[in-house]
């Protein structure tokens, strides 16, 4: 209400963000923003114990951006050809659960998956829908809400304190924002899986000896200054150097490099950026990264829906089935929650361009591993997938359920700098029925 | 939000404190919390109410961490400090005025300084080592009921690169031990030190460490162990034989190790086993079918989705991946 509410907007460009941006642009140093998540860390920023034992330790969030058609993927209606169109339907390894014939490999791992067929959103445009999906709140002019990964960092911290706890692969960097919680809870956006972590290694022209010499010289020059001005900002800045050096010399850096994987394993996930992103996500989770998001776009199928969705499904099918199987045979599936979300579904009625339009009233998302039931369906749409008959789940409930899988205190209130209360799921309760 | 309310007296006090040495959690902070906060904010089950107030338990470091009330290094953003430093008239003040609040100016200043200094729960690691090094005979300690973990043992192990964490907020005595960033330099020598906290250890993750069959002798002494991850280590059948005493074992991950069907009779005796992972080992499908008879309800994973027939061609034990 007062004039200064604008100044309290949490995500304005801070001086540090400005410096990071400038450093990136002029010096080519991109390791700084990723350290946003690590600056000021101490033993306390390490993971807090979960609210219950044997909770999941990590989340891999697969973001289907553009609005994934529910009819042509996980909620087919074979008895109603007028809405189903030419998309085939197949049985799965779960009794009485059928999905789209475009997803044969996923059908084979359905026994690990819980479907949420009663998803409902109140946002029908992409940007707003993605915002709600990631943050549980609708966008408002006066505040930037933190994304789900930032909530997880805030409520429980990092398990591996050498590398970032929140990484977002592909997609919009908005998905990695710390919002009003600040950059330190935000994620590290990676453009694509193959490039690894940019500028995280010593430049070739600088030998190890020269590097160490420069550091010790810097220490000497700084010693007097640091002795005289014991301010927090100075300590923080120094901490940034320490963190960077710790990371540059760490064994964990290998986690970011999928070139260490055998070609057969790389093919197992599909040789495309989403598949390789999922492979990278598994590597990061092996190194105890808490939250990894991988983006697959191209679901906005207003035209030629059936051709376009089949092509998307080929990529999704290989990567999703590959990821779930790979986690399971490594003994990681019970401690890793795989969640797949999208901003909305698509109209059951097929439009004049053989396409489907935006449809937030009913759509499907899923979870696998992390303690959720396998071969389970929560919620149901009517016979034409037009509306949710039972088991409505909002994006806030979905996010609270992810929080619950990790054993986080989902009811915990975090107050924004402007003094307003927020929770991980906008006060929504987790859907506990989906847990085994 | 709150800084403008903080009285000048407090500011003076914090200045006076800041020149002193570090605030000690155990000696200075924990007593404040236990006398002023823990009557409501406790993880211990009380008769009246099974949950701590607001889901926040302030009686253990784990509870405080899980509470999300701390911003290490920044007291003014930390709810733990903000809520106790509000003016008397504020509804949000903790503890409430009719419940022992507010805290004294000195107590508030101590909390502020502790958080501003990074909110450390232990002062330095590896401390008190001399005291405990001699006590590696765990047979005696194991007989004791679960008790508060040996804090020096925990600090010692953390000093050696281990991450020691509580299983859950309401199970502060049960510990999980893993070597997250340090697995590549962790050997039997470091692993042996786990015996200092043996009575409390229920989960151990040794994946990718340099543990050997010999090192598993120590693990075999952790009588309360339920979860053991040995994936991608050098261990063989000989090592697994040392685990026969682990009566409560539920999860055993052997993926990527040198074990063979010969260990299956040993595993068959672990009646509590719920999941065994054997991908990329010498264990065969026939072997597992025999084990299935002894453990009808357990999940035995050799390779996933044989049914789909798609994922079988990866099973090549010579194929060493670099992780």
Residue A420 near residue A73, CB atoms below 8 Å: no
* Residues comprising chain B, all counted: 323
**pLDDT surpassing 80 at residue A412:** yes
Q: At B115, give phi and psi (nearest 5°).
A: -70, -45
Answering whether pTM is above 0.90, one says: no
Q: Which CATH architecture has domain A3-201+255-434?
A: 3-Layer(aba) Sandwich (3.40)
Residue A109 near residue A327, CB atoms below 8 Å: no
Read off the pLDDT of each residue in A86-107 and give the average, rounded to a whole number. 95
Q: Fill in the DSSP letter of residue A7.
A: G
Task: Choose the closest CB to B72 out of A42, A52, A109.
Answer: A42
Of A10, A40, A47, A49, which to mutate for an interface test with B (greatest number of B Cβ within 10 Å)? A49
Residue B93 has a CB neighbour count (10 Å cut-off) of 17
Between chain A and chain B, the number of residue pairs with CB atoms below 8 A apart is 150
Read off the pLDDT of each residue in B278-299 and give the average, rounded to a whole number. 92
How far apart, in whole angstroms, are the C-alpha atoms of residue A372 and residue B212?
35
Placement of tokens 């950059």 in the chain:
A183
Tell me which residue of B149, B161, B162, B244 sits closest to B198, measured CA to CA.
Answer: B149
Tell me the average pLDDT of chain B.
79
Residue A377 has a CB neighbour count (10 Å cut-off) of 22
Q: Where are the domains of chain A?
A: 3-201+255-434
Instruction: Please calculate the CA angle B117-B123-B125 and round it to the nearest 5 degrees.
Output: 125
Pairwise pLDDT comparison (B140 vs A78), residue with the higher score: A78
- Strands B201-205 and B227-229, bridge-based pairing: parallel
Comparing alpha-carbon positions, the chain B residue that sits nearest to A255 is: B323
**pLDDT surpassing 70 at residue B9:** no
* Cross-chain Cβ contact A44/B303 below 8 Å: no
Q: What is the pLDDT of residue A166?
A: 93
Q: At B260, give phi and psi (nearest 5°).
A: -130, -175
* Cross-chain Cβ contact A48/B303 below 8 Å: no
Chain B hits for A424, Cβ within 8 Å:
none
Half-sphere exposure of A208 (CA within 13 A, CB side): 2
CA max distance for chain A = 78
CA distance A276 to chain B (A): 16
**pLDDT surpassing 80 at residue B107:** yes
pLDDT tens, position by position, A255-269: 888 888 989 899 999
How far apart, in whole angstroms, are the C-alpha atoms of residue B281 and residue B284?
8
* Cross-chain Cβ contact A260/B321 below 8 Å: yes
* Cross-chain Cβ contact B304/A328 below 8 Å: yes
* Cross-chain Cβ contact B307/A108 below 8 Å: yes
Reduced to 3 states (helix: H, G, I; strand: E, B; else coil), residue B275 is strand
Task: Choose the closest CB to A49 out of B1, B66, B122.
Answer: B66
Go through the domains of chain B in sequence order and give each one's CATH number: 3-116 (no CATH), 129-301 (3.80.10.10)
Comparing alpha-carbon positions, the chain A residue that sits nearest to B307 is: A108
CA distance A125 to chain B (A): 33
**pLDDT surpassing 50 at residue A41:** no
Distances (CA, A) of A328 to A285, A323, B301, B302: 13, 9, 8, 10
CA distance B108 to chain A (A): 20
* Cross-chain Cβ contact A51/B307 below 8 Å: no
Interface confidence, given as ipTM, is 0.82
* Cross-chain Cβ contact B319/A154 below 8 Å: no
Q: Which two tokens stand for residue B271?
A: 């009646």
Q: Fill in the DSSP letter of residue A378.
A: E
**pLDDT surpassing 80 at residue A355:** yes
Confidence of residue A74 (pLDDT cuts 50, 70, 90): very high
Pick the most confident of A38-42, B85-89, B229-233.
B229-233
**pLDDT surpassing 80 at residue A123:** yes
In terms of C-beta density within 10 A (0-12 exposed, 13-18 middle, 19 or more buried), how is residue A82 classed? exposed
Distances (CA, A) of A319 to A80, B45, B90: 29, 45, 54
């Amino acid at each position: 209400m007062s004039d200064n509410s604008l100044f309290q907007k949490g995500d304005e460009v801070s001086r540090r963000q400005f410096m990071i941006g400038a450093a990136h642009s002029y010096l080519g140093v991109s390791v700084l923003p990723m350290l946003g998540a690590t600056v000021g860390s101490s033993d306390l920023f390490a993971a807090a114990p979960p609210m219950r034992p044997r909770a999941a330790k990590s989340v891999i969030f697969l973001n289907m951006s553009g609005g994934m058609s529910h009819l042509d993927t996980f909620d087919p209606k074979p008895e109603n050809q007028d809405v189903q169109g030419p998309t085939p339907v197949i049985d799965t390894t779960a009794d009485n659960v059928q999905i789209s014939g475009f997803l044969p490999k996923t059908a084979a791992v359905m026994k690990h998956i819980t479907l949420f067929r009663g998803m409902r959103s109140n946002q029908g445009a992409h940007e707003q829908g993605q915002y709600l999906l990631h943050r549980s709140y609708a966008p408002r002019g006066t505040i930037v809400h933190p994304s789900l990964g930032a909530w997880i960092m805030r409520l429980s911290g990092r398990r591996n304190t050498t590398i970032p706890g929140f990484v977002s692969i592909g997609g919009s960097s908005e998905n990695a924002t710390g919002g009003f919680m600040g950059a330190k809870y935000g994620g590290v956006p990676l453009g694509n899986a193959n490039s690894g972590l940019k500028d995280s290694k010593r430049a070739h022209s600088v030998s190890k000896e020269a590097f160490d010499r420069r550091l010790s010289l810097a220490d000497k020059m700084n010693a007097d200054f640091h002795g005289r001005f014991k301010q927090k900002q100075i300590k923080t800045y120094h901490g940034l150097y320490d963190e960077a050096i710790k990371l540059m010399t760490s064994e964990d850096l290998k986690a970011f490099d999928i070139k260490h994987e055998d070609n057969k394993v790389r093919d197992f996930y599909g040789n495309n950026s989403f598949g390789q992103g999922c492979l990278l996500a598994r590597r990061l989770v092996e190194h105890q990264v808490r939250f990894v998001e991988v983006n697959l776009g191209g679901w906005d199928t207003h035209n030629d829906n059936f051709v376009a969705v089949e092509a998307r499904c080929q990529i999704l099918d290989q990567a999703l089935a590959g990821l779930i199987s790979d986690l399971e045979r490594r003994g990681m599936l019970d401690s890793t929650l795989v969640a797949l979300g999208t901003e909305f579904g698509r109209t059951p009625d097929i439009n004049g361009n053989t396409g489907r339009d935006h449809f937030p009233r009913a759509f499907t998302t899923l979870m696998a591993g992390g303690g959720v039931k396998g071969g389970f369906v929560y919620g149901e749409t009517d016979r034409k997938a037009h509306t949710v008959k039972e088991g409505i789940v909002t994006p806030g409930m979905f996010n609270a359920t992810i929080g619950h899988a990790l054993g986080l205190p989902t009811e915990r209130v975090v107050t924004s700098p402007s003094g307003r209360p927020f929770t991980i799921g906008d006060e929504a309760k987790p859907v506990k029925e989906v847990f085994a | 939000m709150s800084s403008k309310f903080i009285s000048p007296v407090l500011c003076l006090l914090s200045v006076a404190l800041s020149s002193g040495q570090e605030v000690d959690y155990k000696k200075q902070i924990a007593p404040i919390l236990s006398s002023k906060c823990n009557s409501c904010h406790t993880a211990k089950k009380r008769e009246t109410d099974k949950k701590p107030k607001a889901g926040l338990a302030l009686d253990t470091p784990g509870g405080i961490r899980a509470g999300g009330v701390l911003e290490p290094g920044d007291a003014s953003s930390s709810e733990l400090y903000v809520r106790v430093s509000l003016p008397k008239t504020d509804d949000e003040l903790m503890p409430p005025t009719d419940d022992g609040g507010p805290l004294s100016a000195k107590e508030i200043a101590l909390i502020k300084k502790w958080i501003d200094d990074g909110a450390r729960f232990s002062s330095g690691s590896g401390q008190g080592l001399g005291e405990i090094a001699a006590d590696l005979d765990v047979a005696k300690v194991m007989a004791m009921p679960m008790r508060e973990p040996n804090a020096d043992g925990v600090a010692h192990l953390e000093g050696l690169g281990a991450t020691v964490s509580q299983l859950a907020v309401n199970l502060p005595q049960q510990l999980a031990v893993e070597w997250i960033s340090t697995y590549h330099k962790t050997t039997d020598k470091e692993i042996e030190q786990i015996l200092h906290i043996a009575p409390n250890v229920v989960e151990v993750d040794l994946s990718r460490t340099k543990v050997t069959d010999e090192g598993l002798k120590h693990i075999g002494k952790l009588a309360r162990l339920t979860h053991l991850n040995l994936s991608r280590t050098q261990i063989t059948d000989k090592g697994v034989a040392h685990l026969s005493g682990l009566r409560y074992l539920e999860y055993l991950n052997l993926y990527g190790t040198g074990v063979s069907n010969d260990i299956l009779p040993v595993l068959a005796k672990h009646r509590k086993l719920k999941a065994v992972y054997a991908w990329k080992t010498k264990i065969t499908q026939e072997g597992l079918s025999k084990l299935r008879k002894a453990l009808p309800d357990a999940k035995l994973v050799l390779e996933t989705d044989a049914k789909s027939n798609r994922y079988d061609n990866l099973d090549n034990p010579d194929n060493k991946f670099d992780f």
